[in-house]
């Protein structure tokens, strides 16, 4: 919890909270339905594949605030490790993949694709999808880190890829949302694939190597400056200190 969070993290949480609140007002609820993931995608509402993770979902309870807190913890670390470009690209990549899988499963179950007033996929709407992606991303990039499940059980982060699927399966048993369960599973798998593909891995290794080189060069320059006795004087370009002071102009 050190340092201020990135602006993107604050914006993401603010959007989820705002859309969650607006669903309880008659003037805004119909608009939010058009942004959630529904079978209307088959009728041209393709933007839903991108917008649905950012539309807060659920009833008015403290459980939603707890979900936002967990989302903040994981999102903060994931964003710091990936940077802005890969962070947002990963969210879109995993969300679209999960949404397509859920829609195909729903279609295979011979359910109506024309209903706009129903809300399918309750296991993967809104912050639930974001949580799945962020936990999967953290577990992939920090495999040996320790996460305290329920704030009690210490478990290595790498096991949370499977734990997420188990939690989603328990949700399926309760809601019978097979499409949502498979959509969540696909999003977790796509997040893992995105973060482990060779191009991104090379990019992360390159960035880490450049940071280490910059740190080493800076330390080397500091040691040389101390040995030479040179010291920069603000506002004065003529620095005359050390054994070569008579040659510096």
List the CATH number of the domain containing 57.
1.20.1540
Please determine, for residue 247, whether its predicted confidence score (pLDDT) is greater than 50.
no
Q: Is the pTM here over 0.85, yes or no? A: no
On the 0-12 / 13-18 / 19+ scale of CB atoms within 10 A, 199 is exposed
Are 127 and 74 within 8 A, CB to CB?
Answer: no
Residue 127 lies inside a defined structural domain of this protein: yes
Q: 48 or 155, which is more confident?
A: 48
pLDDT band at 109 (very low <50, low <70, confident <90, very high): confident
pLDDT by residue (tens digit) across 185-239?
999 999 999 988 744 555 555 565 566 667 667 767 777 776 666 665 555 444 4
Write out 116-172 in H/E/C secondary structure: CCCCCCCCCCCHHHHHHHHHHHHHHHCCCCEEEECCCEEEEHHHHHHHHHHHHHHHH
Residue 89 lies inside a defined structural domain of this protein: yes
Residue 232 lies inside a defined structural domain of this protein: no
pLDDT by residue (tens digit) across 123-174?
899 899 999 999 999 999 888 877 777 767 777 778 888 888 998 899 899 8
Residue 226 lies inside a defined structural domain of this protein: no
Measured CA to CA, the distance from residue 84 to residue 8 in angstroms comes to: 8
Backbone torsions φ then ψ of 109, nearest 5 degrees: -85, 5
On the 0-12 / 13-18 / 19+ scale of CB atoms within 10 A, 125 is buried
Q: What is the pLDDT of residue 244?
A: 44
Q: What 8-state DSSP symbol labels residue 248? A: -
Measured CA to CA, the distance from residue 91 to residue 71 in angstroms comes to: 13
User: Residue 116 is part of which domain span?
Assistant: 7-196
Please tell me the total count of domains within the chain. Answer: 1
Residue 181 lies inside a defined structural domain of this protein: yes
Please determine, for residue 72, whether its predicted confidence score (pLDDT) is greater than 50.
yes
**What is the chain's mean pLDDT, rounded?**
80
């Amino acid at each position: 919890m050190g340092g201020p969070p990135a602006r993107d993290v604050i914006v993401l949480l603010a959007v989820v909270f705002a859309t969650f609140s607006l669903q309880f007002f008659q003037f805004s609820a119909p608009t939010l339905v058009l942004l959630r993931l529904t079978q209307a995608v088959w009728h041209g509402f393709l933007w839903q594949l991108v917008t649905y993770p950012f539309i807060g979902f659920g009833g008015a309870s403290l459980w939603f605030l707890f979900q936002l807190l967990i989302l903040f913890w994981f999102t903060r670390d994931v964003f710091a490790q990936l940077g802005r470009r890969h962070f947002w690209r990963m969210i879109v990549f995993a969300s679209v993949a999960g949404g397509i899988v859920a829609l195909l499963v729903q279609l295979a179950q011979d359910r109506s694709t024309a209903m706009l007033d129903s809300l399918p996929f309750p296991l993967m709407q809104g912050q639930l999808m974001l949580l799945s992606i962020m936990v999967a991303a953290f577990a992939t990039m920090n495999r040996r880190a320790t996460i305290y499940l329920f704030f009690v059980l210490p478990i290595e982060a790498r096991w949370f890829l499977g734990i997420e699927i188990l939690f989603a399966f328990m949700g399926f048993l309760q809601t019978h949302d097979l499409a949502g369960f498979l959509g969540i599973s696909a999003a977790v798998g796509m997040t893992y694939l995105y973060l482990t593909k060779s191009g991104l891995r090379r990019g992360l290794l390159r960035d880490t190597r450049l940071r280490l080189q910059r740190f080493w060069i800076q330390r080397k320059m500091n040691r040389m400056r101390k040995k030479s006795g040179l010291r920069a004087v603000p506002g004065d370009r003529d620095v005359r200190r050390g054994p070569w002071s008579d040659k510096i102009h």
